[in-house]
Structure 1
Amino acid sequence: MNDTTTQLLSTPPIEAGLSTDQQFGELTVLEDVEHPKVPLVDRDAYHHRELDGGRTDVEVVTRALELGMNVVLKGPPGVGKSFLARYLCAQTNRPLYRITLSETTYREDLLGHLHLVSSDDGETETRWIDGPLTRAAREGGLLLLDEINAADANTVAALNAVMEDRQTRSLTIPQTGEQLTPHEEFRVVATANPGYQGTYELNDAFEDRFRHVKLEYLPQDVEVELVFDRTDLDRGKEPELERLVAFAGRLREAYIDGELSTPITTRELVRIARFVEDDFMDVKSATRSELVARVDEYDESLVRTLIDKRL
């Protein structure tokens, strides 16, 4: 007779470290327990942007997380929403579990799955494998939900109870009957591209579970310096790089206005600049080589035209 006993977790959870007396921004730094899911990001890798109210995005987000809040980062693609979450986890030794949501994401993708596996004695057993939500809740990690407004309502509903106040939140796993009290350091950070094609409006009750933070593209002069920092581009190319960043701004305006379906990110500007290093390509050729190959076929004509006119 087959053994159908459910075995919990193929790998045991590793809890986040204990609190220290140090802080990064407003958020407590945890002990470094060499957790494999803590990202590696340099301390100076992120530009701290000033928001309304005279505080930076890092200060506002870390304050919210320290107060036990969940955070949704809103803004167009390429402004660094997901990177900000990785950056904060790296500086505070928090495990990061990430999932990109879509209309084909189901509750099980968040919670986990039951798997039938063969044991050493040849019998079959059912083993539970945690999903990113469950694992983050057990370990005191940060769950990063990319594109939260691309998921359907049924998937989002799985998050309701676990995103209550810390005193009342819980997580139930229907497949095993386990009811889990989330670790005190567990938090949710979501990203959203509001108002763009393929997204949904979040209902008011769910949105109320988040502290909302809006991020914009970096100022042009800051983005120019960032590209220099991440490449070996000669400083003599600064006028050309300034034109490139201004051109990126025009493409972003076109994306926001619905003229283009493909945004342009800082990462793409860095890649373009890498091909301008050592005069391997001129800026116009490097931009055309990068963007024309990547944009939607319906955007190609407009992108070519803008490259020729502005670069």
Structure 2
Amino acid sequence: MVNVVDDAFVVAGRRFVRRAFPDQGSLHRVNRRGDPASWGSQLAGLTSPGDLQHDVPTAQESFSYLSPTMARSLARIADIDQSTAHRGFILLIGPTGCGKTTLAKTYCHLANQPCTELSFSGDTSLSDFYTSVELVRDEEAQSSTLTVPGPAIEAMRLGKKLLLNEINMLPPDLLTVFSQAVDTGRLVLSGTERGNVEIEVHREFGLIGTANPNYVGTLEMGRAIERRFGRGLGYIEMDFLPADEEAVAIENEFARERVFAAHDLKVSATICRRIADLASRLRSDPQIGNVMQSRLSTRSLVHWLGLAQITSLPLVQVLDRALLTTVPADARDVVYAQASEALGDTRLDVSASAQLHYLRVTWPALAEGVAVPIDVAAPTRQVARRHRRQSGGPVIHRIRFVRALPDGGKAIVAEPMCQIGDTRYGIGLKIRGYDRNGRQIADPDRLADIGRLLRDEDGLNVARPLGHLLSRRDLLPCLTAHTVRVLEIAEAAQLLGRPIFIAGPTGAGKSSLARTLAFLRGQPVVEVGFNGETAKTDLSAVRRLIGGVTRWQTQAFLEALADGDTVIANEYNLAYPDVHSLLNGLFDKGASYALPDGRVLRMHDEARVIATGYLEGPGVKPLNEGVENRYGAVVGLEYPPVADEVAVLRFVAPTGDADSILRCVRLVDYCRRLVAGKVDAASLIGLSRAAQEALRQAAKRAALSTAELVALARVSGSSDFAERLRIGILEGAPESVRRVLEPVLLQYGLG
């Protein structure tokens, strides 16, 4: 559908020009002695126009296939952007995952237009993208403030396309800064280092916005904003492709996934058509269509096929485990029934899955009620435990201490001196251990024990670089069929390079499961917690005063992703939905984030995000549909079945009384189900409404989490698990609650 020549590209039968950048400009520098140090020239450091070529989206960031519908939309973008009669804006509005951002980048790639991409959220301010006021010092160390242009102004000055994702998360009044600039062709900046100045807007500048309508965290755009884009002109409504075109699109996108392209793996065109037909029916269903639009986007269909190929699980099983977790129960039942009817037990090519087996952990096939050590799930190809690279100059290690170890060995402690600016700072410890025979210790767990000894007994607890390798103490106590089912889907999403969301109740083991996956894949981890006050600046960048000058510094979240760590984001959805939008740019094809000072941070190929959270409860915020759609898998981790939970507790306390543990778990399981309203109503017949409510209130005290039970088992040892559980449930309970609980405890043999 597209034909590209040197100076033009043809799409949908129409020809559009491509921007040309000379290798060397026509300007020739006059060789004279340098300016005095007190002069500040704008021209002496002028960059070549050809340098903008680096900002043109690559083929990897663009669509490799354009269907007829996509080609028509692309031609319309090109027509508006290259029109001399209409210098307006372009807005691509439509459901998440239908290809808006990538289509915009495809246009920039074909038209050879440099592009700056920004993602907005509800707390975005002008200082994040337009101008900011910074503190600076002159040569005499006198402080003053200056207005510094942001990436949006640089795009207008240099003639780049400005791609604004989630534009309807931005307060509409902030968009007027672009209207003013385009209408007048001038930017007026006050308080710059050159005083108050004007900048002419480059004729190649253009604005392309994307918006998901009526999603969580978005704002009503209003008719005035719609007029700015122009219906019939730059206001372009997009939707999912017709099923026949979507089938070809997902077939092509599947083949472009890095893990499949490396092995030249394809997916059946027939299966793609069946998947696309099913998705089209479900999206248009009058009862559940609104719910399924974001869950079964074109992007989600590619994820679905990718997970199924890597795991070799049936398509319907992958759909249920990874795509339907947040779907309301009644809609989920409808989708599962229709998918089962359409797809049966269809799997993707088993031989293709076998080619990928060497990349994966060998997960044990476990029956319910069996628990095994973590080491049983060793990778088939040993994963090298990768240490985080240190940015900046070379690190100098200065030996500080020598210490004798209790077993007769020796530890040498050095301090890494890392260069930050013109100064070196000590960050962390470098420990080299030797056993009593003088052999160097290589076991990471033994070295971790030495580190704990130095911390606890010698006070060597100092700030360390981001990213640490996990030890077994950080992981799940063991593996069961329940946890393996979640781990194999989560690992597949990681191999696709996608973030993962693990949803489940408090204490079900979500964070421990995330750490276990990172441990088995040898990934350094940075773990952060979200809350209701978490702001986007806590994750992206913040101004910092360095040497009397304010500079933008990336926060730990972004730095870890740039350096290739695995970030575990706990209680992810306690933060407000606009905070989540940070993931949009990071997990689009460009995998980048534009900082307020104009720098572009690119995510490392090996970086991963595993978010954990619960779907309901105090402080929980709804997930933004556009962000949720970017997760490779949203998997549920509920409390384990009774048999698996008993197996875990017996693994932790092998000498404990098996019958006593079983009775305790059955009691806790009943109370959990009672609190959640999942107990068979017939079992409550004969109780008055007041008595039923009293029973539910009492059950809350006994509905312990798996984490609480494991902690009890570790402390209790062989004998008093049941007694400790009984004390924990009754201790401090009001008399009215005790009257309800004590008969229940007797019923389970725990009186």
Call closer, same or farther: CA 1:89–1:219 in 2, change over 3 Å. Answer: same
Show the counterpart of 2:280: 249
Aligned counterparts of 1:48 and 1:264: Cα–Cα separation in 2: 19
User: Aligned residue for 1:184?
Assistant: 203
CA deviations over 1:246-281 (Å, ceiling 9, x no partner): 232244336995445844322221122123337712
1:217 aligns to 2:240 (yes or no)? yes
- Is contact 2:283–2:293 with CA below 8 Å preserved after alignment? no
Aligned residue in 1 for 2:331: 302
- Matches for 1:104-123 after TM superposition, within 5 Å: 104-116=123-135
Q: CA-to-partner distance for each residue in 1:267-308, whole Å, 9 max, x for gaps?
A: 221122123337712211222233135xxx354663354124
Q: How does 1:241-280 map to 2 (within 5 A)?
A: 241-253=272-284, 258-259=290-291, 262-277=294-309, 280=312
- The answer to whether the 8 Å contact 2:126/2:132 transfers is no
Q: Structure 1 residue 119: deviation in Å?
A: 7.3
Q: Whole-Å Cα distance in 2 between the matches of residues 201 and 278 of structure 1?
A: 41
Residue matched to 1:172? 188
In 2: Cα distance, 1:66 partner to 1:80 partner: 21
The separation in 1 between residues aligned to 2:150 and 2:306, in whole angstroms, is: 38
| Structure 1, unpaired ranges of 5+ | 1-19
Q: Match for 2:105: what amino acid?
A: R
| Post-superposition CA distance 1:75-97 (Å, at most 9, x none) | 22122111111111112221211
- Matched with 2:617 is none
Q: CA deviation at 1:182?
A: 0.8
3-state SS, counterpart of residue 84 of structure 1 = helix
Give unpaired runs (5+ residues) of structure 2: 22-49, 256-264, 341-751
TM-score when normalising by structure 2: 0.34
- Counterpart residue number, 1:70: 89
Q: What is the aligned partner in structure 2 of residue 228 from structure 1? A: 251
Give the conservation status (yes or no) of the 8 Å contact 2:8–2:17: yes
2:198 & 2:222 partners in 1: Cα distance? 26
For 1:24, give the aligned amino acid: F
What residue number does 1:11 align with?
none
| 8 Å contact kept, 1:77–1:263 | no
Q: How many angstroms does 1:155 deviate by?
A: 1.6
Tell me if the contact between 1:41 and 1:86 (Cα under 8 Å) persists in the aligned partners. Answer: no
Cα displacement (A) at 1:69: 3.5
Answering whether residue 61 of structure 2 is matched by residue 61 of structure 1, we say no
CA RMSD of aligned residues (A): 3.2
Amino acid at match of 2:243: Q
C-alpha deviation, 1:40, in angstroms: 0.4
Which residue among 36, 46, 56 is the counterpart of 1:38? 56
Shift of the 179–300 alpha-carbon distance from structure 1 to 2, 3 Å rule, reads: farther
Does the 8 A contact of 2:291 with 2:327 survive in 1? no
CA gap 1:299/1:158 in 2 versus in 1, 3 angstroms: farther
CA distance in 2, matches of 1:129, 1:307: 54
Counterpart secondary structure, 1:30: coil
Distance apart, 1:216 and its partner CA:
1.8
Offset, 1:140 = 0.3
Deviation at 1:143, TM superposition (A): 0.7
> Following superposition of structure 1 onto structure 2, how do residues 79-118 of structure 1 map, counting pairs within 5 Å?
79-116=98-135
Q: Which has the higher helix share?
A: 2
Q: 1:281 is matched with which residue: 313, 317, 322?
A: 313
**CA contact 2:91–2:236 (8 Å) conserved in 1:** yes
Partner of 1:97: helix, strand, or coil? strand
Q: Is the alpha carbon distance of 1:303 and 1:250 closer, same or farther for their aligned partners in structure 2, counting shifts above 3 Å?
A: farther
Contact 2:159 2:201 in 1 (8 A): yes
Checking the alignment, whether the CA contact within 8 Å between 2:168 and 2:219 is kept in structure 1 is: yes
Distance 1:284 1:57, change over 3 A: same
Partner SS state of residue 324, structure 2: helix
User: Secondary structure at the residue paired with 1:56?
Assistant: helix
Which is bigger in relative contact order (C-alpha 8 A, separation at least 6)? 1
The normalised TM-score by structure 1 is 0.76
Q: Size of the alignment, in residue pairs? A: 281
User: Percent same amino acid among aligned pairs?
Assistant: 23
The offset of 1:310, in angstroms, is 2.0
* One-letter amino acid matched to 1:61: I
Q: What is the match of residue 23 of structure 1?
A: 8
Of the structure 1 ranges 126-135 and 210-219, higher mean CA displacement relative to structure 2 is found in 126-135
Residue pair 2:168, 2:218 contacting (<8 A) in 1 also = yes
State whether structure 2 residue 157 is matched by structure 1 residue 138: yes
